Chains A and B, each alone.
Chain A
Amino acid sequence: MSVKDQVVQILAEQALLDVSDVTMDSTLDDLSIDSMGVVETIFAIEETFDITVPFNANAPEDSSFDISSVAAIVAAVEGLVAQKG
């Protein structure tokens, strides 16, 4: 499964939605994933890809990990997975 598909699956599971309802331009707000949900999602991403996500829940906007949309999250995860490479 591609990084994109795995990220979409994690988000869908967190949002209790079908994967088909998670589109690339969705925001976490659109998916009703709140701040606790974001932290849980990041944990799931770290566990799935064995990476460390640079994310501080106190100041999400200052984190280098972009969570502004599903596409941004996928790109950020792809970058971290490639670095691990």
Chain B
Amino acid sequence: MNRVAVTGAGTINALGHCVADTLDAFANGTCGIKPLEFRDVDRLSIKIGGQVAGYDEAEHFNRQQISLYDRFTQFTLLAAREAVAQSGLTFSGDLSVQAGAILGTAAGGMNTWDDNYRDVYEGGKNRVHPFVVPKLMNNAAASHLSMEHNLKGPTFTVSTACASSNHAMGLAFQMIRSGACKAMLTGGSEAMLTFGGIKAWEGLRVMSKDACRPFSANRNGMVQGEGAGVFVFEDWDHAAARGADILAEVVGFAMSSDASDIVMPSKQGAARAIAGALQDAGMAAEDVQYINAHGTGTTANDKTECAAVADVFGAQADKVMMSSTKSMHGHLIGGTGAVEFLACLMALRDGVVAPTIGYEEPDAECALDVVPNVARTAKVTGVLSNAFAFGGLNAVLALKSV
């Protein structure tokens, strides 16, 4: 089996338009959740989110590109440009056919759906732009990524709600570990902060009106975010041979299905994915100093997640740090694991563990070290990144420092 190196990282999210700004925000415990700005927001009962601020699509794309790129595709392409530039890779010749893209998204081109439904239902228009379908389809981002970077190998999109990005990165990891590919662009993107997107989530009554406070006893729900994270996963020997700067090693991945409920999480399902990732990585609980939690800030997730970690880690659960950066960037749904992967890289590479901000009151059912409110300096050599989706689909990644 081949080892898998991470040689590039890129992002755009509520905390910044690049990795450096995002890591600064993580280290400083900055909150990117603010009042939402889009039309008809006054008709929503949920008016906050982790929106990408100061963003003008015309600064990055021409008119023709904008007619084809939904916001989720734009975020993907921008994050990927940063990641590919850092990796130093050029995809040509043999590498081009041995490289692909596996991305996660839950809703794909939600802005395109929303705008065009508005035009035909509310506006009474009987004609839509010819590119509505290629713009909104869930694989649009992966396809445009393959065109922009000449990736001619396995390229597709996975959609498993809040676990989409982790499933995508896990598959990309397996693709390289098995020898099927030399390099993969992977991660995910979401741009669901539209009137229709938030209105749909409001219906579930799991959203907070004021803040995302994971693991805090006074938590009152999740807050949505948007953005993308894209990474270059590369065959270790390929990366080492060209002298690439290796950011971290992906060492394990496991998935499981609760097979029980369409929204309520299961401790057993989550625990099987956590234990499975450790086993796949050949790691013991003692080898893990940090877990990037799914940590949505809902009552159900947070206590189930803590119970699952306690089950798998046993006595070691009292020593491991576990934080949820959703408190800062919001829940990017299908893109969330990708942005959270950055916190894993920061812990492994810089020895800085991102905090869970908004933490106000201990909860006996979440009695782990959640790195409350302030980032912590620590030597971290092994991490896990959890994602537990609606539909009971769980995906956990394991990483090691170089």
Residues of chain A whose beta carbon lies under 8 Å from any beta carbon of chain B = 16, 36, 39-40, 42-43, 46-47
B129 on interface, CB distance cutoff 8 Å: yes
B43: chain A residues at CB < 8 Å are none
Q: Is A40 a contact partner of B127 (Cβ separation < 8 A)?
A: no
Residues of chain B whose beta carbon lies under 8 Å from any beta carbon of chain A = 64, 67, 127, 129-131
Q: Is A47 a contact partner of B67 (Cβ separation < 8 A)?
A: no
Which 6 pairs of residues, A with B, have the shortest CB-CB distance? Answer: A39-B130, A43-B130, A40-B130, A46-B127, A43-B129, A47-B127
Q: Could you jot down 13 A-B contacts, CB within 8 Å?
A: A16-B64, A36-B130, A36-B131, A39-B130, A40-B67, A40-B129, A40-B130, A40-B131, A43-B127, A43-B129, A43-B130, A46-B127, A47-B127
Quick one: closest A residue to B128, CB to CB? A43
Interface of B is mostly: loop
Quick one: closest A residue to B134, CB to CB? A36
CB distance from B61 to the nearest CB of A (A): 14
CB distance from B116 to the nearest CB of A (A): 13
**Bound Cα distance A16, B65 (Å):** 13
Other CB < 8 Å A-B pairs besides A40-B67, A40-B131, A43-B129, 11 of them?
Answer: A16-B64, A36-B130, A36-B131, A39-B130, A40-B129, A40-B130, A42-B130, A43-B127, A43-B130, A46-B127, A47-B127
Interface of A is mostly: helix
**Bound Cα distance A51, B127 (Å):** 11
B127: chain A residues at CB < 8 Å are 43, 46-47
**Bound Cα distance A79, B131 (Å):** 27
**Bound Cα distance A50, B64 (Å):** 23
CB distance from B88 to the nearest CB of A (A): 32
A47: chain B residues at CB < 8 Å are 127
**Bound Cα distance A46, B128 (Å):** 10
CB distance from B280 to the nearest CB of A (A): 44
CB distance from A84 to the nearest CB of B (A): 15
**Bound Cα distance A21, B163 (Å):** 51
A40: chain B residues at CB < 8 Å are 67, 129-131
**Bound Cα distance A16, B62 (Å):** 11
CB distance from B11 to the nearest CB of A (A): 30
**Bound Cα distance A43, B64 (Å):** 14
B130: chain A residues at CB < 8 Å are 36, 39-40, 42-43
Quick one: closest B residue to A46, CB to CB? B127
B67: chain A residues at CB < 8 Å are 40
**Bound Cα distance A36, B131 (Å):** 8
B131: chain A residues at CB < 8 Å are 36, 40
**Bound Cα distance A43, B129 (Å):** 7
**Bound Cα distance A10, B64 (Å):** 14
A46: chain B residues at CB < 8 Å are 127
B67, B127, B130 pick with most chain A CB within 10 angstroms? B130
CB distance from A85 to the nearest CB of B (A): 20
A36: chain B residues at CB < 8 Å are 130-131
CB distance from B130 to the nearest CB of A (A): 4
B64: chain A residues at CB < 8 Å are 16
CB distance from A11 to the nearest CB of B (A): 14
**Bound Cα distance A40, B127 (Å):** 12
